[in-house]
Amino acid sequence: MKKCTLIVALIVVSLVCPSNVLAEDDGAKLRQLEAKVKMLESTLEDRDATIATLETQVQEGQERIAALTAILEDAGVSEETLAEATDEAATICPVVRVIDGDTIVVSIDDEDVTVRLIGVDTPETKHPNKPVQAFGKEASAFTTNLLAGETVRLVIDPQQGETDRYGRALAYVYREPDGLFVNAELVRQGYGHAYTKYPFKYMADFQALELAARTAERGLWVAEDDDTSEQSQETPTAAPQDAPPPTEEVAPETATEQEAVTVYVTRTGTKYHRGSCSYLRQSKIATTLSDARASYGPCSRCKPPR
């Protein structure tokens, strides 16, 4: 608009004032005015280019937001979950080491603090009275790969409290600086299941992530040997964080001892189990160890006497 106004002004001056009336000073002013018009044209071109660039960036940003929103919806995770790390007061600290899939040690004020991840339970690898559970080493390695040498942001959940009965800090763990929600990532990738014994803020989100992992058969949800039918129905559970260490059974050696030992089978499976095995939730048929050994194999998860 300014450009058009200046040009019109030049035309009017040239029509109203004959050339023989214009003094040399007027001619110089006219040339200066023409130079300013050219500068204005260049400025307008730069402005248009800047606006076009900004419009492109805004469009790309909107497309990225739409794509991320779609991923969240598919995974069943609310946007509020990912905003947790920046919306609430948190403690930022370096990771000292990873104990297992759902427990890490961080340094806070130059002191080592053991942190139990809220809402996720991974198979045991460091239980004092239990063997390493199936997929426990993989879960531990996965957490190590995510957090070794990293800095994390810890956020507490008022529903859980700050510590458990063993004095471990309870927290949501976010990796810095990318904000990866480690608790949720373990469930999403199938390295642990949603630990729902105690309520927590994102329970519904974690249950949705677990269902998606089970459907896709990721991680510990991959069918193993002949336990496929049982695994498709049951949720394998690691030892609860507040449970006392279980006593380990000693395998019987004689036929008489085997007759005295009770194990359990299911209607559809081909393995026998300990009475506490998570695969027995829908069916649990008692039998002797000697009878079970004749037709069934031992469960690879609960590891009953052989």
Provide the residue-wise pLDDT of the chain in tens; the chain has 306 residues: 555 555 555 555 555 555 555 566 777 878 888 888 888 888 888 888 878 888 887 777 777 777 766 666 666 555 555 555 444 568 999 999 999 999 999 999 999 999 999 999 998 765 555 555 677 788 889 999 999 999 999 999 998 889 998 899 999 999 998 999 999 999 999 999 999 989 999 999 999 999 999 999 888 887 443 344 343 333 344 444 454 333 334 444 455 544 568 888 876 677 888 877 767 666 678 888 888 887 888 887 777 887
121 within some domain: yes
**pLDDT for the residue 4:** 57
Please tell me whether residues 63 and 189 are part of one structural domain.
Answer: no
Number of structural domains in the chain: 3
Selection from 170, 221, 222, 218 nearest residue 197 by Cα: 170
Write the DSSP string, 180-226: EEHHHHHHHTTSSEE--SS--TTHHHHHHHHHHHHHHT-GGGS--GG
Task: Look at residues 25, 45, 75 and tell me which one is the last residue of a structural domain.
Answer: 75
**pLDDT for the residue 182:** 96
246 within some domain: no
Selection from 261, 280, 272 nearest residue 303 by Cα: 272
Give dist(CA 245, CA 266) in Å, integer.
26
Give dist(CA 41, CA 29) in Å, integer.
18
Please tell me whether residues 88 and 71 are part of one structural domain.
Answer: no
Give dist(CA 152, CA 139) in Å, integer.
18
Please tell me whether residues 60 and 156 are part of one structural domain.
Answer: no
Count of other CB atoms within 10 angstroms of residue 294: 9
Give dist(CA 213, CA 75) in Å, integer.
9
Question: CATH number of the domain that 133 lies in?
Answer: 2.40.50.90
**pLDDT for the residue 69:** 66
Give dist(CA 224, CA 277) in Å, integer.
15
SS3 282: coil
Where in the chain does DSSP place strands (E)? 91-100, 103-108, 111-117, 120-121, 151-155, 169-176, 180-181, 193-194, 262-265, 271-272, 285-288, 297-298
**pLDDT for the residue 293:** 83
Which residue(s) pair with 93 in the sheet?
152
Q: What are residue 121's phi and psi, to 5 degrees?
A: -130, 125
- Hey, what amino acid is at 87? D
Give dist(CA 299, CA 305) in Å, integer.
10
Please tell me whether residues 94 and 44 are part of one structural domain.
Answer: no
Please tell me whether residues 90 and 202 are part of one structural domain.
Answer: yes
Please tell me whether residues 133 and 24 are part of one structural domain.
Answer: no
96: alpha, beta or left? (left if phi > 0; alpha if psi -120 to 50)? alpha
**pLDDT for the residue 220:** 84
Give dist(CA 119, CA 100) in Å, integer.
15
Please tell me whether residues 133 and 216 are part of one structural domain.
Answer: yes
Task: Look at residues 75, 107, 131 and tell me which one is the last residue of a structural domain.
Answer: 75
245 within some domain: no
DSSP state, 301? T
234 within some domain: no
Please tell me whether residues 121 and 210 are part of one structural domain.
Answer: yes
* Residues ≥6 apart with Cβ < 8 Å to 249: 274, 304, 305
**In the numeric block, which tokens belong to residue 10?**
């030049």
Please tell me whether residues 16 and 118 are part of one structural domain.
Answer: no
Please tell me whether residues 101 and 215 are part of one structural domain.
Answer: yes
User: What is the DSSP pairing of strand 169-176 with strand 111-117?
Assistant: parallel
Residues marked as catalytic: 116, 124, 168
304 within some domain: no
42 within some domain: yes
The answer to whether the beta carbons of residues 95 and 149 sit under 8 Å apart is yes
- Hey, what amino acid is at 240? P
156 within some domain: yes
Please tell me whether residues 202 and 259 are part of one structural domain.
Answer: no
User: What is the DSSP pairing of strand 169-176 with strand 180-181?
Assistant: antiparallel
Domain range enclosing 101: 84-223
Task: Look at residues 75, 95, 120 and tell me which one is the last residue of a structural domain.
Answer: 75
Please tell me whether residues 18 and 42 are part of one structural domain.
Answer: yes
The answer to whether the beta carbons of residues 11 and 33 sit under 8 Å apart is no
235 within some domain: no
